[in-house]
Amino acid sequence: MRKLVFALLAVALLVIAAGCESPKANVKTEKTLTIDEVTVHYSGDVSLSQAKAILNFVRDNFQINGETDVYVSKSGNAYTVKVTTPYESSGDIDGKTAFYVKTMASKMSQDVFNGAELTLKLLNGDEKEVFSAESKYAYIESNGITVWYAGVSEDDAQKVLDYAVSFAGSGPWDIFIDGSNPYTVSAMSSFKGREEIGDAESAYRKMVSDLSERLGGKVIFRVLSPSGEEIARFTS
């Protein structure tokens, strides 16, 4: 069994309930592509260029620890990507890993499949599903700052990104924006709890005010822990 370990980024970034299943029983594998320790198994309606892109994505975004199998299939306009991992059950997936995988589903969707619907599944040593995440966001980035957006225009996301760059200069920093009027803006932080924010609260309140002006609407601003949990909320 080929396995992989996720590299947890400092700028970490919808879980679906699904039954356990074997990729060999559910993915019609017609071709394989192997480079170094990563093998992509892909069905006939997945192109070679997509298989190469998935392989490179896994190598670039995850820390490989031994041989790793990736299964890629397509149904309609939606893709499913399954990756073998060392995790044996959902209980082995900590908060940081879960949040990272959720974000990688969106990143993979945009980078490899032009924003198509995508489900990223982690498999254990018995090829049974232990975690699943759906793509949700598109993203733009500059100076190491990434803005992930859903339910808003790219123009609004660009306003948030431009402001974040002017505010912080450079990242790593991840910001999420969901919906409009009100806009929900969620920013990653290194704080693990509300009590750690301290003097940074005034900076967050300024961000709320400034973003509300730039976006032209009410802003709900959420401060997230490294595991993606909300630890504070401010509104315009």
Q: Is 59 exposed, middle or buried (0-12, 13-18, 19+ CB in 10 A)?
A: middle
Torsion from C-alpha of 165, 170, 171, 173, nearest 10 degrees: -20
Q: Give CA separation, 87 vs 12, 23, 95, 226, in Å.
A: 19, 16, 14, 20
**Domain 138-235 is found in CATH 3.30.300:** yes
**Domain 23-134 is found in CATH 3.30.300:** yes
Strands 145-150 and 173-178: parallel
Q: What is the pTM of this model?
A: 0.84
Where exactly does CATH 3.30.300 map onto the chain? 23-134, 138-235
The answer on pLDDT for 88 being more than 80 is yes
Location of structure tokens 């397509």 = 74
* Of 195, 93, 200, the residue nearest 187 (C-alpha): 200
Q: List, for residues 10-57, the tens digit of each pLDDT value.
A: 332 222 222 233 444 444 547 999 998 899 999 878 999 999 999 999
Q: Give CA separation, 151 vs 97, 155, 156, in Å.
A: 25, 12, 10
- Residues 130/93, Cβ–Cβ less than 8 Å: yes
* Of 80, 81, 86, the residue nearest 6 (C-alpha): 86
Q: List, for residues 134-177, the tens digit of each pLDDT value.
A: 999 999 999 999 999 999 999 999 999 999 999 999 999 999 99
Alpha helices in the chain (DSSP H): 23-26, 48-61, 95-113, 154-168, 200-215
d(CA 218, CA 91): 38
Mean pLDDT, the chain, rounded, equals 87
Q: List, for residues 97-146, the tens digit of each pLDDT value.
A: 999 999 999 999 999 999 999 999 999 988 899 999 999 999 999 999 99
Task: Give the mean model confidence (pLDDT) for residues 79-96.
Answer: 93
Half-sphere exposure (CA, 13 Å, Cβ side) for 194?
6
